[in-house]
Amino acid sequence: MTAVESVGEFRFECGESVENLRLAYETYGEFDGSNAVLVCHALTGSQHVSNAPAGADHDDEVGDAVETAGQARAWWNDVVGPGKAIDTTEYYVVCVNVPGSCYGSSGPPADGPDGEPWGTDFPPVTVGDWTRAQRRLLDRLGVGRLHAVVGGSVGGMNAVDWAKRFPDDVRRVAAVATAPRLDTQCLSLDAIARRAITTDPDWNGGDYYGDDRPSPDDGLAQARRIGHVMYLSKASMGRKFGRRAAGRDAFGDAPDDPTGRFFPYREVESYLDYNAESFTGRFDANSYLYLTRAMDEYDLAAGYGSDAEALAAYEGELLALSFTGDWHFTVEQSRALAAAARDGDVPTAHHVVDSDHGHDAFLVEPEAVGPPLRAFLADGVDGRAVRDEDDDEPSGGGGGGPDRAPVHSSLFPG
């Protein structure tokens, strides 16, 4: 169950402050002083990472237990829980809803100082703000050094940011389906998604809260449709939906468009429409603007000369986990992240999962994600199920970057 903790005045990277930042979070398992694992959620995820039993602090220690309406379902229940890869009988798992989001933490739809929703008066947030806010909450929970930070997608940027910002505070960072920074193509699609929201008349400059006012559902739905295309691969979309017309029991509604009168409403449209519609019931349009801005802005090298320098002070180990069919956060980007970490003398593995599920793979392939994560949490990059991409390549296979071969040879002889 979600708890909410106030962590006091918080100054954001943009220079603006809020008087009392509230953070919604969940914990699972028992803290033994050295077994804390922070899990960072993706763009539209929440603190509700698992259906596992809540940690003890939720009963009485800190925070107010709350019910969060419309919350996303447990988004990594196959990976986090008793006996699962991130085993809540072994680790004390903490997941925090990032500031700017809409699942109970301070953000645009939450009440501001005047008792009205913040709206766009809420300070712009960055991934660094998320990291610093998480640090603040962990202090309240009595967690000093983390055993690990694990995150996927922009949550992976959040995880990597821990290694950059608090290099002594974490032993192991697992950066799943992520990148040191977003590429131009994805920046473009995010900008288009935001335009869909800001050109929806019901967005009204961000001022749409209140029961009697329409919310910008058309725009938010469009943003989500674009998102889903980014989360799937060409191959997985083709395999799942092909060019088939939707059946009678299709989810979603064909758009009211007379130019479609001779043409089928396709299964893939039905899928996108259904998901877009359910998304508008659980997410806030302004939060979508805030969080995509944070993701777009994230640049591991910012403040340093390079990614390697940003990671040079990090004392722990890094697992970069990537998926061959992911075009949102590509294998090449994870490779670059791993190379930078190695350049910064961080013990690193880049584990590539062969998958055509696209970016969604990190959510929908627990059988591929679980074993390396479990092994990395237990034994670091030397964990048995952690495979570095150079490990199993035939000599001269050329799959890894040419700059990697010497490092590989020395670390994994024979």
| Nearest residue to 319 (alpha-carbon basis) of 381, 264, 374 | 381
Taking the C-alpha atoms of residue 98 and residue 12, their distance in angstroms, rounded to an integer, is 13
Taking the C-alpha atoms of residue 38 and residue 146, their distance in angstroms, rounded to an integer, is 7
Taking the C-alpha atoms of residue 372 and residue 75, their distance in angstroms, rounded to an integer, is 19
The distance of Cα 150 from the centroid of its chain, to the nearest Å, equals 10
Binding-site residue numbers for substrate are 224, 360
Catalytic site includes residue 356: no
Q: What is the number of alpha carbons within 13 Å of residue 347 lying toward its C-beta?
A: 14
- Catalytic residue of the set 46, 161, 359, 388: 359
Residues interacting with a second copy, by CB under 8 A?
A: 13-14, 120, 124, 126, 181-185, 187-189, 191-192, 194-196, 198-201, 205-206, 218-219, 222, 225-226, 228-229, 232, 234, 237-238, 240-243, 255-263, 266, 268-269, 272, 286, 289-290, 293, 296-297, 299, 327
| Nearest residue to 45 (alpha-carbon basis) of 119, 124, 98, 105 | 98
| Nearest residue to 102 (alpha-carbon basis) of 195, 182, 198, 2 | 2
Taking the least distance from each CB to a second copy, the nearer of 183 and 365 is: 183
Taking the least distance from each CB to a second copy, the nearer of 172 and 225 is: 225
Binding-site residue numbers are 224, 360
Q: Which residues contact 248 (CB under 8 A, 6 or more apart)?
A: none
Q: Where are the beta strands (DSSP E) in 34-169?
A: 36-40, 64-65, 80-81, 86-87, 92-96, 146-152
Q: How far is the CB of 225 from a second copy (least distance, A)?
A: 5
Taking the least distance from each CB to a second copy, the nearer of 71 and 287 is: 287
Catalytic site includes residue 359: yes
Q: How far is the CB of 141 from a second copy (least distance, A)?
A: 29
Taking the least distance from each CB to a second copy, the nearer of 114 and 257 is: 257
- Catalytic residue of the set 46, 106, 153, 287: 153
Q: How far is the CB of 286 from a second copy (least distance, A)?
A: 7
Q: How far is the CB of 397 from a second copy (least distance, A)?
A: 13
Q: How far is the CB of 120 from a second copy (least distance, A)?
A: 4
- Catalytic residue of the set 326, 328, 351, 355: 326
Q: Cβ distance 57 to 63 under 8 Å?
A: yes
Catalytic site includes residue 328: no
Taking the least distance from each CB to a second copy, the nearer of 305 and 413 is: 305
What positions carry a catalytic annotation? 153, 326, 359
